[in-house]
Amino acid sequence: GESVGLHLPTLSVQEGDNSIINCAYSNSASDYFIWYKQESGKGPQFIIDIRSNMDKRQGQRVTVLLNKTVKHLSLQIAATQPGDSAVYFCAENSGGSNYKLTFGKGTLLTVNP
């Protein structure tokens, strides 16, 4: 069945370092993927998305990599800042008439000053 899982439930990095958050997905039919950031007391905030016809997409300080061969997704955050501390979720959508996202459990990123 559909599932999205994260390799690391917690990640602690030093300010200024690069962060990499990983995600595995099991539905080979998924063709759209999103990363969200959720801070305490807030709803998930869109970071970046990627469609299955791409293997890399860059935003401001963030890069998402998609490896369809091994069904793996990663979020790279450059020069991590204390404001990046949050829970990060990956989500997938299998497209077609499936109007829903399947979310992973989340990774807690802590940035140490």
Partner 1 sequence: KAGVTQTPRYLIKTRGQQVTLSCSPISGHRSVSWYQQTPGQGLQFLFEYFSETQRNKGNFPGRFSGRQFSNSRSEMNVSTLELGDSALYLCASSLAETANEKLFFGSGTQLSVL
Residues lying near partner 1 in the complex (CB under 8 A):
31-32, 34, 36, 41-46, 49, 51, 89, 91, 93-106
Q: How far is the CB of 16 from partner 1 (least distance, A)?
A: 29
Q: How far is the CB of 36 from partner 1 (least distance, A)?
A: 8
Phi, psi of 69 (to 5 degrees): -60, -45
Query: Helix (H, G, I), strand (E, B), or coil: what is residue 56?
Result: strand
Nearer residue to partner 1 within complex by CB, 18 or 58: 58
Q: How far is the CB of 63 from partner 1 (least distance, A)?
A: 17
> What b/e sequence results for 33-72 when a residue is b if at least 16 CB atoms lie within 10 Å of its CB, and e otherwise?
bbbbbeeeeeebeebbbbeeeeeeeeeeebbbbbeeeebe
Nearer residue to partner 1 within complex by CB, 46 or 70: 46
Nearer residue to partner 1 within complex by CB, 94 or 110: 94
Q: How far is the CB of 17 from partner 1 (least distance, A)?
A: 27
Q: Are 24 and 37 in contact (CB under 8 A)?
A: no
Q: What residue type is 76 in one-letter code? A: Q
